[in-house]
Structure 1
Amino acid sequence: METIVDEPQWLRTASWLGCPLAGAALGWFLQSISGWVVSLSWVPFKGPFQLVSDIPRPWGAIAGIGAGLVLGLLFAGVWAHERLIVKVTPSRITLLKEGRTRAFEAELEAVFFDGKELVLLAADGRELVREKADVDRQAVAKALLDHGHPWRDEPPTVK
C-alpha cells in the first residue's frame, strides 16, 4: 500500500483558476489606472504606463486582461512544477518535484524537516536528500510512521 502526500486538491484547482483570474484582474487594473499614473509628477518610470495608456480603448483593457491571464497561467505552472509530492511505502520513499522522480530504498537513520526542507539521512549518517517542501508536515510524519520509517520531529544533533 502507498501513501501519497500532496497539496490538497482544492488548492491545486484554486491555483489553476485563481492565479489566471487574479492576473487578469491585475492586468485590467493596471491598464485602467495607467493614464492617472502618467499624470502624477512624482512617479518615476512613466514610460511603460504612458505606453499602456496610449493604447486605444477597448484594446488596452483587452491587452491588459490577456497579458495578466497569461502571466497568471505561467505563475500557476511554475507553482505546479515546483511542488513536492511525497510517496511512501514500507520499503521506499519517493519524491516527485520539477519533473524528476527520486526513490530512496536505503536503510534510513532519520527523516525530518529542517526549517522548510525535508531531509533524509542514511543509516551511515549521510544526507541522501534535502528538498524544499511546502507539504503538510503532520501528513508526512504520519505517512512515514505508518510505514515504519524513522521520523523525527526535530533535526538530530550533530555527532
Structure 2
Amino acid sequence: METIVDEPQWLRTASWLGCPLAGAAIGWFLQSIADWVVSLSWVPFKGPFQLVSDIPHPWGVVAGIGAGLVLGLLFAAVWAHERLIVKVTPTRITLTTKGRSRAFEAKLEAVFLDGKELVLLAADGRELVREKADVDRQAVATAFREYGYPWQDEPPAVK
C-alpha cells in the first residue's frame, strides 16, 4: 500500500503542450521584435537584434517559431526533471527529483512544509532532508497522516 503525491496529470500534460506552444508564439514575433529594437536609437548591443532582423522573410519567422518550440520543449523538460514526487508507505518515504530517488526509513519527529520546502526531521531532531516541493499542501499532509507520520501544519519551534 502506498500513496504518491505528484503534480496533477493535467498540469504535466499542459506543461508539455503549453511551453512549446508559448515558445513558438514568442518565436513567431521574434523578427518583428528585433526589427523594433533595431529601430530604437538608445538600445545598446544591437548586433544580435540586427542579425535576427536581417534574416529574409519568411525564413526569419520559421526560424523564430522553430527556436521557440525547441526552447519551450527544453523548459518543459527541465520542469519535469525538477519536480518532486513523494511516495509514502507505512515504512518508507521516497522522494524523487532530478532523476534521483532517496528513501527514508528512519523514525521521524516531524514532517512539514516550510514555505515550499518539504522537511523531514529525524527523531533526534536532525534534518534528514529539505527538498523544494511545489506539491499540493493538503495532498502531502493527507498522505503522511494516512500512514501515521508526525505531520505538522507549521514548522516546529526551534529547540
1:23-75 C-alpha deviation (Å, 9 max, x unpaired): 01111112223222211212222211110110011110011001111110110
Structure 1 segment 99-110 matched on structure 2, within 5 A: 99-110=99-110
C-alpha distance in 2, partners of 1:33/1:11?
30
* Residue in 2 that maps onto 1:128: 128
Tell me if 1:73 matches 2:73. yes
Contact between 2:2 and 2:87, CA under 8 Å: does it hold in 1?
Answer: yes
1:85-134 C-alpha deviation (Å, 9 max, x unpaired): 00001111110000010011111010001111100001111110000110
Q: Secondary structure at the match of 2:25?
A: helix
Contact between 2:113 and 2:153, CA under 8 Å: does it hold in 1?
Answer: yes
* Residue in 1 that maps onto 2:158: 158
Structure 1 segment 78-89 matched on structure 2, within 5 A: 78-89=78-89
C-alpha distance in 1, partners of 2:158/2:59?
62
C-alpha distance in 2, partners of 1:38/1:152?
56
* Residue in 1 that maps onto 2:31: 31
For this pair of structures, how many residues does the alignment match? 159
**Unaligned 5+ residue runs, structure 2?**
none
Q: Secondary structure at the match of 1:125?
A: coil
Return structure 1 stretches of 4+ with deviation > 6 angstroms.
none
C-alpha distance in 2, partners of 1:26/1:138?
35
* Residue in 1 that maps onto 2:18: 18
C-alpha distance in 2, partners of 1:33/1:146?
53
* Residue in 2 that maps onto 1:54: 54
Aligned-residue sequence identity (percent) comes to 86
C-alpha distance in 1, partners of 2:33/2:107?
60
TM-score (norm. length: structure 1):
0.97
Contact between 2:30 and 2:61, CA under 8 Å: does it hold in 1?
Answer: no
C-alpha distance in 2, partners of 1:55/1:79?
32
**CA-atom RMSD, angstroms?**
0.9
TM-score (norm. length: structure 2):
0.97
* Residue in 2 that maps onto 1:117: 117
